[in-house]
Structure 1
Amino acid sequence: MTKDTKNPPIDRVDGRLKVTGGANYFADFEIPNTAYCVIVGSKIAKGTIASLDTKKAQNAPGVLGVFTHQNMPPIPGWDAPVGGEADGPAPKPKTEETYRILSSSKILFDGQPIAIVVADTYERATYAASLVKATYSKQTARTDLQKHVAEGIAPKGADGGNYLRGKPDAYQAAPVTLEANYTIPIEVHNPMELHGILAHWTGPNTLMIYAKTQGVNATQQAMAEAFKIAPKNIHVHAEFMGGGFGMGLRTWPQETAVVAIARKIGRPLKLVVNRSQMFTLVGHRPYTVQTINMGADQDGKLIGIAHAATAETASYEDFTEATVNMTKFMYACPNVSTRYRIVRLDRSVPIWMRGPGEATGAFALESAMDEMAHKLKLDPIEFRLRNYTETDPEHNRPYSSKNLKEAYQRGAEAIGWSKRKNEPGSTREGDWLIGYGMSTGTFNAFRWEASARVLLKADGSLTVQSAVTDIGPGTGTALTMIAHNVLNVPLNRIKVEYGDTSLPKAPTQGGSAIVSAVGSAVFDACTSIKQALIELATKNGGPLVGRQADELTLADGILSILTEPKKKVAVSDLMQANNLAVIDRTKESKGGPQLQNYSMYSFSVHFVQVRVNPLTGVVRVTKAVSVADSGRIVSPKTAASQMIGGVAGGIGMALTEEAVIDHRFGRFVNNNLADYHVAVHADVPAIETIMIDKPDPIINPMGAKGMGEIALIGFAGAVANAVFNATGQRIRDLPITPDKVMQKLT
């Protein structure tokens, strides 16, 4: 449920297509003469291929080729030194290892592709792949971060992984201190739609791609770099995506390999990976251990915070994320230090996952804030308010907008926070202990460069075009609302076309930035069209000659005078009188230099009620309230869906999700949806969403800030804090499973 929004909620513009099967995802596209490929993965985590027998596979019915390190077609752009980034020019190597798919006999991680089998049907390719046999010279794999934390290295960057404000270790002299360790396990994206690509060379140097990507322009550029052809010769289409969560933020090596093999065999080629390969080939949230040291005075004012985090990365690529960033600015604390390290393991490389880095860091910081509030005998909200800051202490500049105090108050009222008892374990209903918890989340509010095209036809219809991919949040609906709010064209006369490189360039869908970026371009293009209409109406000989723009209003295809509504002209008549079949505007939009004077963030506050059964250790989230402070809400219905989806993901993060490795072999033991437990309907209660809905005056003309990440960031901490309030037992290692609860209670 969404409250107090200024815009009326509308249904998703793509909703009917999706529920009736009319929406085409990458694997739905069919090209005549398409071949299919299946990846054969390594069964060891480190070593070399000693022998590889592909004869039976090559002789199987329908097989067109078996590609290995011995016969992989060349990829021109991969001749340069490897940097690990597949979506940009290859710089010098970041690490001691290098990885190019099917380039050598060396094995760097479990599931690494050792062969790609191509056949005329998917079933035949699958069967033939089962016939590929390999033997290995196995080496001992390092996959356990806990055993190698001391080997962490500082990532390359301006601060070398360190930040300091004030004095280091100032928390040690505080009257009240806390030291706690927190663990986030490997989490895997696991959207319903599997990863893959359909590649078709339409000429010697022209390429058509259907892919699961969060950015068609990024994929276009990556393939242009890999194959040394002009980006304009590569057409990428990804209108719909069945869940991304971060896995589609880069072009993966297997995608590039499929394009190379498609060129070699001279046929369109499709890859759809299987579920177990989703655990090894498209990234994951990295295993991360964190330590928070915190000190406060007896009045609840923070004196010092030290936040150290160590996360896994691959041996062949250094992946980093913003795990400790929230600690730098969230609270008014004079002495703050952060330390971030990475450990190279024999694992596939991680990737950003919804709430990238900040979701991991917020669990530690917000759990520690709750622990310190308990030590001080303060209500957790009161403790946060005593350390509230109206300006960004990291950069010493104002926030573009911040309404967290209102978010605390409204969320507390909605959850019934007044029922919460500050003494843990003191509320019981029958066999269940009842607890309440809350946590804050935050994420950068970006405004990237983007472009959009808007066409107003004389019949009153409006078309909005952008290359942006809608990965599920309802981007098309939001762009429809922005266009409607500027031009007042009826919603059913607006069409949005997106997800194709033939359309105006747009950034990758990620970082909660698309409404701010692409929405601004749509706003500017629509505003330009509105200005053109006013100029036509008010010029000499026009029906509203002599009137100023601020005297006029535009609604339902009618341009009229505000104070004299009978004096009006239909837009269709105005355009016909000027021999205009269409008014066409393309605008590029980006933030100006004034944005650098402000810190721009979206904020969230999550409240939960849990029930914990002390006999079984079962934890149930029975009520959830999430409050979003993300500027003007452009599309209330899809915004609420974003928050609801974040809560569902947050429940999984808090209670169920964990990819488990048997470190004897360096391999996953639960790489399937039966054993890797995502939250299901039975785990998710009714969720109330509240939007502060106050426009940010700085970031963009709509006043809208991103919401996708803050929907998840902080939620796991709220659950952990509620479990403590229910039981008096603090669980710092996610997920909070019954065995951990029972161990604490016995």
Structure 2
Amino acid sequence: MKDQAQNKQIGAGMDRVDGRLKVTGGAKYSAEYELPNMAYAVLVGSTVTKGRLTSVDTKAAERAPGVLAVITHFNSPKVPGFDTAGKDPSQPATVGGPLKIFKDDKIHYNDQPIAVVVAHSWEQARFAARLVKGQYAKEKHKTNLEANASDAFLPTAAKKNPKHPMNDYQRGQTDAYKTGAIKLESEYVIPTEVHHPMELQAITAHWEAPDRLTLYDKTQGTLATRRDFAKEWGLPEENVKVIATFVGGAFGNALHSWPHESAAIIAAKVVNRPVKLVLTREQMFTNVGYRPYTWQKLGMSATPDGKITGITHESIGQTSTYEEFTESTLAQTRMMYQSPNVTTRYRLASLDVCSPIWMRGPGEATGAFALESAMDEMAYILNMDPMEFRLRNYTEQDPEKNKPWSTKFLKECYQLGAERVGWNKRQLKPGSLRDGEWLIGYGMGVGTFGAHRGAATVGAQLRPDGTVLLQCATTDIGPGTGTVMTQIAADTLGLDAKKIRFELGNSSFPKAGTQGGSSTVNSVGPATQEACLALKDKLRQLAGAGNPAFASAKQEDVMLTDGYLALSSSPTTRVAYADLIKQGGDKAVTVEAKPGGEGQKYSMYSFSVHFAEVRVHELTGEVRVSKLVSCADAGTIINEKTAGNQMKGGAVGGIGMALMEHAVIDDRYGRYVTKDFADYHVPVHADSPDVQVAFVNKPDPYVNALGTKGIGEIAIIGVAPAIANAVFNATGKRIRELPITPDKLI
């Protein structure tokens, strides 16, 4: 019998529990479900950017082999929820709500779905979709943010609520930097970036009865998706089931309900068969969101000895004409550095485009490019090391909320990263280091994101075979949620991880929020821990009915082992699982864990710093990231391997953000020029160095009992400015509009 202490799991780099399934093809993703009598759907997109759809010629498509239906707004069944008046409370970040497909004849953006073709096979549906022709009354469109910046407006939610985080913010004197002794004023641009996970957006919709709907959907939140479509179709939520057992990446684009999902549900209703719809890679550019094109202006002033005296940060982000999308572009500026005077202003520009959506590091990754570039610019003006400049303006408590940090170990991150990247080799004068024709430079960028925690519920059950089954509706978009929860359960129960099974991705399981905002481990982790503790206590009580030693034992003295419940203080005192199960020990224990009131007392954030070494070819302008070191203060690290994977993935995303990613619209037609991976570039192995990762790994006792704070967002926030700052240190050329391509350096 193993001692419970020997089963310590938290912190170990455990392999992914679903790894074998994934690499052998056993994992089933949303497009891989095969149901009896399945039909297949393909969307037809608008060829104009703005106007009205006057007619649709569907005759040729309807006569094509295998076609079951061609649905447009002219013949689509009515969707009850589309006529619900007022703002959808399930969409707090929006005004007007998601696009209501086939509701009317309005065209809001290029490639907006105007029809869906349903056929016996996908090949038949694809062929017939090409035969559908729309006729339009075109209107003048606008797709360029900077050409329409003068029409930018304060978000409606901020107008209605003076305390809304998107409202103008003021600490101290307004625009104080303008009167500073040493000042800078710069503009920065982040272009549109598209999520493009490996798995395409896909859904299979199945009306199992006229009032009962099952969706096999790519989503980051099974309960949020269930809520949205139950509301859309006027159904009780319990009549809608959403299954997303495996999700092949998302980065945020599966946090929203999109038109293609509604189209599949409508199609399944019309043909009275299960319908599968998978977007093409081109449609992933146009119909499921993106990081919005954002213009920023940042002014900063400082004293000669490096103390910031004022910051003004302004931003205009794009949104669609039918929905207001906002993000926290200016959040980091208000709290990261000590400055007596801070002004922020956030505005939106409505364009004829699909709605943007949160993309990894939403808002903060965009805002950090401007803030961290400006910090580097000011350090250069002051002839000061950029890390020293940041240390001189280090905040010991949150200056925005005027609260102490729950924990903050960012200085430790600075030290870890600087040592690993070789920061001592960095020269103050740009262009001082070279290796033959390659110029060498070093840069850094800081990131932060809130340590968010929501309510979550987990069910725990002892099975007759001696294993423990845990269930939760949470999803896993790739970070290893099932693995981490298995570790937490194994650690809490004192069991071998192989004896624990964590099931997720099903809306019929106990409730949890969406996987986003770096909140999953913070929320589901404590629920898993508490459910396991409750299971142990239930088994202890059952055992105590026939054995006084268990009745008086403390919870921590009880351990589960091979086939028995035992006392760690007296291992021979034990009761067989089989006996406990006869008493009802196999009934699931379901526990809900909620955040406490600590958020009222403390300001809770994760922090990161990224250090980049780049090489820039002096003749061609080619930029190579030769070394990237990412360091995080993210509280307790449950799994060093999966956490490291998270940080490395974010770093690679940051390389793409800095050097490659740019979704280009031809504004004459409002149509994307980059609509495949030949033109829209993302980092591949050759572009990515062996990213080094370091964790402070000190628990935050206020976020939750596990001490976790979240990793997903801080993995990318700060990477792009670190690379941009390194490019400046190598070349002396400051690039303020991403991506940094060779033409900007030659």
- Superimposed CA distance per residue, residues 487-509 of structure 1 (whole angstroms, 9 cap, x where no aligned partner): 11101111111100121011111
Query: C-alpha displacement at 1:585, in angstroms?
Result: 1.2
- Superimposed CA distance per residue, residues 320-363 of structure 1 (whole angstroms, 9 cap, x where no aligned partner): 10001110101111110100000011111100101001100011
Q: Give 1:61's match in structure 2, choosing from 55, 58, 65.
A: 65
Q: Give 1:732's match in structure 2, choosing from 736, 739, 742.
A: 736
Question: Are 1:388 and 2:387 matched, yes or no?
Answer: no
SS of the equivalent of 1:582 reads: coil
Query: C-alpha displacement at 1:559, in angstroms?
Result: 6.2
| Aligned-partner Cα distance in 1 for 2:93–2:405 | 37
| Aligned-partner Cα distance in 2 for 1:194–1:549 | 46
Partner of 2:310: 304
Query: C-alpha displacement at 1:86, in angstroms?
Result: 9.7
Partner of 1:32: 36
| Aligned-partner Cα distance in 2 for 1:301–1:328 | 16
| Aligned-partner Cα distance in 2 for 1:411–1:182 | 26
Partner of 1:211: 217
Query: C-alpha displacement at 1:741, in angstroms?
Result: 1.2
- Identify which range, 540-549 or 511-520, moves more after superposition: 540-549
Partner of 2:102: 102
| Aligned-partner Cα distance in 2 for 1:325–1:713 | 12
| Aligned-partner Cα distance in 2 for 1:172–1:34 | 65
Q: Give 1:80's match in structure 2, choosing from 77, 84, 105.
A: 84
Partner of 1:703: 707
SS of the equivalent of 2:588 reads: strand
Partner of 2:446: 440
**Structure 1 residues 574 and 693, CA gap change in structure 2 (3 angstroms):** farther
Query: C-alpha displacement at 1:456, in angstroms?
Result: 2.3
| Aligned-partner Cα distance in 1 for 2:49–2:624 | 37
Partner of 2:574: 569
- Superimposed CA distance per residue, residues 423-454 of structure 1 (whole angstroms, 9 cap, x where no aligned partner): 11100001100011111000111110111101
Give matches, 1:415-434, under 5 Å.
Answer: 415-434=421-440
**Structure 1 residues 273 and 550, CA gap change in structure 2 (3 angstroms):** closer
**Structure 1 residues 263 and 458, CA gap change in structure 2 (3 angstroms):** closer
SS of the equivalent of 2:188 reads: strand
Q: Which amino acid aligns with 1:621?
A: V
Question: Are 1:232 and 2:238 matched, yes or no?
Answer: yes
Partner of 1:365: 371
**Structure 1 residues 679 and 494, CA gap change in structure 2 (3 angstroms):** same
Partner of 2:4: none
Give matches, 1:408-419, under 5 Å.
Answer: 408-419=414-425
| Aligned-partner Cα distance in 2 for 1:735–1:505 | 40
Q: Give 2:13's match in structure 1, choosing from 6, 9, 26.
A: 9
Query: C-alpha displacement at 1:10, in angstroms?
Result: 0.7
Query: C-alpha displacement at 1:154, in angstroms?
Result: 0.2
Kept in 2: contact 1:49–1:105 (CA 8 A): yes
Partner of 1:126: 126
SS of the equivalent of 2:712 reads: coil
Kept in 1: contact 2:193–2:291 (CA 8 A): yes
- Superimposed CA distance per residue, residues 200-223 of structure 1 (whole angstroms, 9 cap, x where no aligned partner): 111111111100111111111111
**Structure 1 residues 91 and 736, CA gap change in structure 2 (3 angstroms):** closer
Query: C-alpha displacement at 1:581, in angstroms?
Result: 4.5
User: Structure 1 length normalisation: TM-score?
Assistant: 0.95
Kept in 2: contact 1:439–1:718 (CA 8 A): yes
Kept in 2: contact 1:538–1:544 (CA 8 A): yes
User: Structure 2 length normalisation: TM-score?
Assistant: 0.95
| Aligned-partner Cα distance in 2 for 1:89–1:486 | 36
Q: Which amino acid aligns with 1:428?
A: R
Question: Are 1:321 and 2:321 matched, yes or no?
Answer: no
Question: Are 1:286 and 2:263 matched, yes or no?
Answer: no
Give the RMSD, CA atoms, in angstroms: 2.1
Q: Which amino acid aligns with 1:664?
A: R
SS of the equivalent of 1:442 reads: strand
Partner of 2:5: none
| Aligned-partner Cα distance in 2 for 1:6–1:425 | 45
Kept in 1: contact 2:654–2:716 (CA 8 A): yes
Query: C-alpha displacement at 1:699, in angstroms?
Result: 0.6
Kept in 1: contact 2:99–2:259 (CA 8 A): no
| Aligned-partner Cα distance in 1 for 2:90–2:555 | 46
SS of the equivalent of 1:686 reads: coil
Partner of 2:727: 723
Q: Give 1:178's match in structure 2, choosing from 142, 167, 184.
A: 184
Give matches, 1:621-640, under 5 Å.
Answer: 621-640=625-644
Partner of 1:582: 586
**Structure 1 residues 267 and 421, CA gap change in structure 2 (3 angstroms):** same
Query: C-alpha displacement at 1:132, in angstroms?
Result: 1.0
SS of the equivalent of 2:150 reads: helix
Question: Are 1:375 and 2:381 matched, yes or no?
Answer: yes
Query: C-alpha displacement at 1:557, in angstroms?
Result: 6.8
Partner of 2:143: 143
Q: Which amino acid aligns with 2:230?
A: A
| Aligned-partner Cα distance in 2 for 1:88–1:729 | 42
Kept in 2: contact 1:473–1:642 (CA 8 A): yes
Give aligned pairs, total.
732
Query: C-alpha displacement at 1:257, in angstroms?
Result: 2.4
SS of the equivalent of 1:249 reads: coil
- Superimposed CA distance per residue, residues 159-190 of structure 1 (whole angstroms, 9 cap, x where no aligned partner): 46300011111112221101010000000011
| Aligned-partner Cα distance in 1 for 2:467–2:131 | 57
Partner of 2:412: 406
Kept in 1: contact 2:190–2:738 (CA 8 A): yes
| Aligned-partner Cα distance in 2 for 1:567–1:177 | 74
| Aligned-partner Cα distance in 1 for 2:11–2:576 | 24
**Structure 1 residues 310 and 57, CA gap change in structure 2 (3 angstroms):** same
Query: C-alpha displacement at 1:92, in angstroms?
Result: 7.5
- Superimposed CA distance per residue, residues 579-606 of structure 1 (whole angstroms, 9 cap, x where no aligned partner): 3542631011111123221111111111
Kept in 1: contact 2:93–2:325 (CA 8 A): no
Kept in 1: contact 2:41–2:116 (CA 8 A): yes
| Aligned-partner Cα distance in 2 for 1:265–1:546 | 63
SS of the equivalent of 2:548 reads: coil
Kept in 1: contact 2:81–2:233 (CA 8 A): yes
Kept in 1: contact 2:17–2:482 (CA 8 A): yes
Partner of 1:265: 271
| Aligned-partner Cα distance in 1 for 2:50–2:95 | 23
Query: C-alpha displacement at 1:646, in angstroms?
Result: 0.4
Give matches, 1:321-720, under 5 Å.
Answer: 321-457=327-463, 459-535=465-541, 541-543=547-549, 546-549=552-555, 568-569=573-574, 572=577, 575=580, 579-582=583-586, 584-720=588-724
- Superimposed CA distance per residue, residues 59-114 of structure 1 (whole angstroms, 9 cap, x where no aligned partner): 1111111111211111011112364x6955999848xxx95212232211111111
SS of the equivalent of 1:36 reads: strand
| Aligned-partner Cα distance in 2 for 1:293–1:147 | 22
Query: C-alpha displacement at 1:614, in angstroms?
Result: 1.3
| Aligned-partner Cα distance in 2 for 1:110–1:535 | 63
Partner of 2:6: none
| Aligned-partner Cα distance in 2 for 1:10–1:550 | 24
The share of aligned pairs that are identical, in percent, is 51
Query: C-alpha displacement at 1:407, in angstroms?
Result: 0.5
Kept in 2: contact 1:460–1:571 (CA 8 A): no
| Aligned-partner Cα distance in 2 for 1:342–1:528 | 48
Kept in 1: contact 2:541–2:550 (CA 8 A): no
Unaligned runs of 5+ in 2: 1-8
Kept in 2: contact 1:82–1:92 (CA 8 A): no
Partner of 2:112: 112
